């Protein structure tokens, strides 16, 4: 017998696969257009993606607007630099003030309806927030695909479990072919298909619901190459920023 959706409730919920930590050409250390990232995300079977460029949000907003054309839910966000380290702001449309205190940045993100997620915690070389400063957030990235070994991920997972923080996994991809190497699965209740899911639903789930974590480490030689390349780009970016500030003084 056919079940008619007008007579029966068939909206039990759907599972959404999201990569919440991806960089585009908006970041100083990446060169991928958002269109290529979205195409790759759809190809590897993701349902949603968040572009989280460093201290800039323009490309992320553009990706969120384009995502539906690729069958995806687009979530605007940014990896913002705080006084204590980097913080993913997911589900917001405006860039929080760069360099503010961690607590103030978390408050700004929440006031704007977003989720504050700590990426690669405890990893000082990548501006991860240190344990003694990590007192308030909405979730922890407990699996980052770009770590050399699993030690930091295991440590983050233990900390999240001990302090009752939801955990997420992200690829931290800086090129399209690594998108989805780590991803998070969340359940969205009360909808019948992914087409009915909105960005706010996913952000709410990441903030409050248990998630399933999936991921694979990048090979060590690829991680080493990635870190060295990003270090060079970061040095160049810092030099350009310093030059710009110096010129503005004259």
All domains in the chain, ordered by first residue: 14-219 (3.20.20.140)
In tens, the pLDDT along 183-208 reads 999 999 999 999 999 999 999 999 98
pLDDT (average), residues 75-101: 97
pTM: 0.82
- Residues near 179 by Cβ (< 8 Å), separated by ≥ 6? 19, 22, 37, 40, 41, 44, 46, 49, 171, 173
Running DSSP on this structure, what letter comes out for residue 126? Answer: G
- Say how far apart CA 55 and CA 185 lie, in whole Å: 26
**Least confident window among 48-62, 142-156, 170-184, 188-202:** 142-156
Bridge partners, residue 81, by sequence: 86
In tens, the pLDDT along 211-226 reads 999 988 655 435 444 4
Most confident of the following: 35-39, 124-128, 132-136, 226-230? 35-39
* Residue 88, pLDDT above cutoff 70: yes
């Amino acid at each position: 017998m056919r079940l008619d959706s007008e007579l029966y409730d068939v909206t039990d919920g759907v599972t959404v696969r999201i990569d919440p930590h991806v960089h585009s050409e908006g970041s100083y250390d990446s060169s991928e257009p958002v269109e290529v990232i979205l195409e790759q995300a759809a190809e590897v079977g993701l349902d949603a993606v968040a572009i989280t460029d460093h201290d800039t949000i323009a490309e992320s907003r553009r990706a969120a607007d384009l995502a539906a054309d690729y069958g995806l839910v687009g979530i605007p966000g940014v990896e913002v630099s705080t006084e204590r380290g980097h913080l993913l702001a997911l589900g917001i449309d405006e860039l929080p003030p760069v360099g503010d205190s961690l607590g103030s940045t978390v408050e700004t993100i929440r006031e704007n309806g977003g989720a504050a997620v700590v990426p690669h915690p405890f990893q000082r070389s990548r501006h991860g927030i240190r344990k003694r400063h990590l007192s308030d957030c909405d979730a922890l990235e407990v699996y980052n695909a770009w770590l050399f070994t699993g030690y930091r991920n295991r440590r983050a997972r233990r900390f999240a479990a001990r302090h009752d923080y939801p955990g997420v996994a992200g690829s931290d991809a800086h090129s399209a072919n690594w998108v989805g190497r780590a991803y998070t699965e969340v359940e969205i209740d009360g909808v019948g298909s992914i087409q009915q899911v909105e960005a706010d639903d996913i952000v709410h789930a990441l903030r409050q619901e248990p998630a399933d974590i999936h991921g694979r480490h990048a090979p060590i030689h690829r991680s080493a190459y990635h870190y060295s390349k990003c270090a060079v780009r970061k040095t160049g970016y810092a030099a350009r920023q310093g030059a710009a500030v110096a010129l503005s003084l004259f």
